[in-house]
């Protein structure tokens, strides 16, 4: 089971399921009952497509992973699973995920297959290996989980609300990935991966992280223009936006002043926590707002009845 979880990157798959569930909850109509079969089909599509895509990725990059100390112990480069086995499992899971997506609707199917293609072909085979800014277009498939969950109930995804959710996921990935790349810069260099810190250095990378960090928190702060925003927005999103910026400034200062990477982890962890909160807040506000509205309507009908 440990080999299976490592091969399919179960930690990231859980994140995919959580973000996809947020998109699902945001698009679920108030007047429609929650259907267990529909939910399970959506989550199955998310699980099998993402787990299969990650297994294929590990087969594709096994020779690169073998050169990097951080990834040399993964199932394929360590020899515990062959590349053929990883490919069979990966493509099998993708097929199962595609069939589950078809049970939901054709939009979910198209998003799911498109995401697997973008991640395993352009990103894995070209963008990541050839381009220092490969993480930027690579963030497109990385942010697709929330769109897939949203499209399960509302196939029309070219609207302010799903675009906002996708932008959050998209912008979050550059601070997330580049701070990790700063920490493991030597590993990426050993594997021949031209990530931004390898190509331009740590200090210049921090300026790019700053650009996306400020764009990320600004997008989160702009939630009232795109989606539901009530007390969860005020209590969770605004304070956490400040914390993310503050953690980045501390990270930035630690590198610029002392040329060290000691502050990367707090910034990395706070950034990862923030995306979960930023996606959860509009879900909470939407459904709490609906519950309050229904309560007010019921109270008004009760008052009219008493009169």
pLDDT for 17: 98
**What's the rounded mean pLDDT across residues 194-218?**
95
The mean pLDDT value for 284-290 works out to 88
Reported as a single tens digit per residue, the pLDDT across 240-256 is 999 999 999 999 988 87
Please give the structure tokens belonging to residue 65.
Answer: 């992973």
Neighbouring CB atoms inside 10 A of 267's CB total 24
Check residue 299 and give its pLDDT.
64
What's the pLDDT at 254? 86
6: left (phi over 0), alpha (psi -120 to 50) or beta: alpha
Half-sphere exposure of 294 (CA within 13 A, CB side): 8
SS (H, E, C) the chain: CHHHHHHCCHHHHHHHHHHHHHHHHHHCCCCCCCCHHHHHHHHHHHHHHHHHHHHHHHHHCHHHHCCCCCCCCCCCCCCCCCHHHHHHHHHHHHHHHHHHHHHHCHHHHHHHHHHHHHHHHHHHHHHHHHCCCCHHHHHHHHCHHHHHHHHCCCCCCCCHHHHHHHHHHHHHHHHHHHHHHHHCHHHHHHCCCCCHHHHHCHHHHHHHHHHHHHHHHHHHHCHHHCCCCCHHHHHHHHHHHHHHHHHHHHHHHHHHHHCCCCCHHHHHHHHHHHHHHHHHHHHHHHHHHHHHHHHHHHHHHHHHHHC
For the stretch 58-94, pLDDT in tens is: 999 999 999 999 999 999 999 999 999 999 999 999 9
- φ, ψ (nearest 5 deg) of residue 105: -170, 170
pLDDT above 70 as % of the chain:
94
For residue 261, pLDDT over 60 is answered with no
CATH for 1-156 is: 1.10.357.140
pLDDT-derived band of residue 259, with 50, 70 and 90 as boundaries?
A: low
What would the two tokens of residue 22 be? 């947020």
Number of other residues whose CB lies within 10 A of the CB of residue 105: 18
pLDDT band of residue 292 (cuts 50, 70, 90) is confident
- pTM exceeds 0.85: yes
Average pLDDT estimate for 182-210: 94
What pLDDT is stored for residue 228 in this prediction?
Answer: 84
Report residue 6's pLDDT band, with 50, 70 and 90 as the boundaries.
Answer: very high
Distance in angstroms between the alpha carbons of the first and the last residue of the chain: 65
Q: Cβ-count burial of 297 within 10 angstroms (0-12 exposed, 13-18 middle, 19+ buried)? A: exposed
Examine the pLDDT at 199 and tell me if it is beyond 70. yes
Over residues 214-229, mean pLDDT = 95
Q: What is the average per-residue pLDDT within 175-201?
A: 94
Would you say 167 and 219 are in contact if contact means Cβ atoms under 8 Å apart?
A: yes
Confidence of residue 306 (pLDDT cuts 50, 70, 90): low
pLDDT for 16-52, tens place per residue?
999 999 999 999 999 889 999 999 999 999 999 999 9
């Amino acid at each position: 089971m440990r080999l299976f979880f490592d091969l399919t990157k179960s930690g990231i798959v859980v994140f995919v399921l959580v973000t996809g569930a947020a998109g699902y909850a945001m698009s679920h109509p108030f007047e429609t009952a929650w259907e267990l079969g529909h939910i399970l089909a959506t989550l199955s599509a998310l699980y099998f497509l993402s787990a299969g895509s990650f297994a294929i990725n590990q087969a594709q990059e096994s020779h690169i992973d073998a050169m990097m100390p951080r990834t040399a112990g993964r199932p394929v480069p360590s020899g515990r699973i062959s590349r053929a086995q990883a490919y069979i499992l990966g493509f099998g899971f993708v097929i199962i995920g595609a069939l589950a997506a078809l049970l939901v609707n054709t939009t979910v199917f198209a998003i799911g297959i498109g995401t697997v293609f973008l991640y395993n072909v352009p990103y894995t085979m070209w963008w990541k290996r050839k381009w220092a800014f490969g993480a930027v277009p690579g963030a497109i498939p990385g942010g697709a989980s929330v769109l897939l969950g949203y499209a399960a109930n509302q196939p029309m995804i070219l609207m302010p609300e799903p675009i906002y959710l996708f932008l959050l996921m998209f912008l979050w990935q550059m601070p997330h990935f580049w701070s990790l790349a700063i920490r493991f810069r030597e590993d990426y260099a050993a594997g021949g991966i031209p990530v931004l810190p390898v190509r331009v250095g740590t200090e210049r990378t921090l300026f790019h992280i700053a650009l996306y960090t400020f764009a990320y928190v600004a997008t989160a702060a702009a939630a009232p223009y795109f989606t539901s925003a009530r007390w969860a927005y005020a209590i969770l999103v605004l304070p956490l936006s400040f914390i993310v910026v503050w953690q980045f400034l501390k990270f930035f200062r630690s590198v610029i002043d002392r040329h060290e990477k000691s502050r990367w982890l707090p910034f990395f962890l706070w950034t990862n926590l923030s995306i979960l909160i930023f996606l959860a807040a509009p879900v909470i506000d939407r459904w709490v707002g609906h519950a309050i509205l229904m309560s007010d309507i019921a109270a008004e009908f009760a008052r009219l009845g008493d009169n």
